[in-house]
Amino acid sequence: MFCPVCGEQTKILQTRLLADGSKKRRRECLDCEVRFTSVEKLSSIPKPKAVRGVKRESEEVISSPPDLSKLWR
Ligand SMILES: [Zn+2]
Class at the top of the CATH hierarchy for domain 1-41: mainly beta
Q: What is the 58 CA–ligand 1 centroid distance (Å)?
A: 54
Instruction: Give me the pLDDT at residue 60, please.
Output: 55
pLDDT-derived band at 53 (thresholds 50, 70, 90) equals low
Instruction: Give me the pLDDT at residue 21, please.
Output: 86
For residue range 19-42, list pLDDT tens digits in order: 988 999 999 999 999 999 999 987
Q: What is the 67 CA–ligand 1 centroid distance (Å)?
A: 70
pTM here? 0.55
What is d(CA 35, CA 23) in angstroms, rounded to the nearest whole number? 17
Q: What is the 72 CA–ligand 1 centroid distance (Å)?
A: 79
Q: What is the 21 CA–ligand 1 centroid distance (Å)?
A: 28
Q: What is the 54 CA–ligand 1 centroid distance (Å)?
A: 49
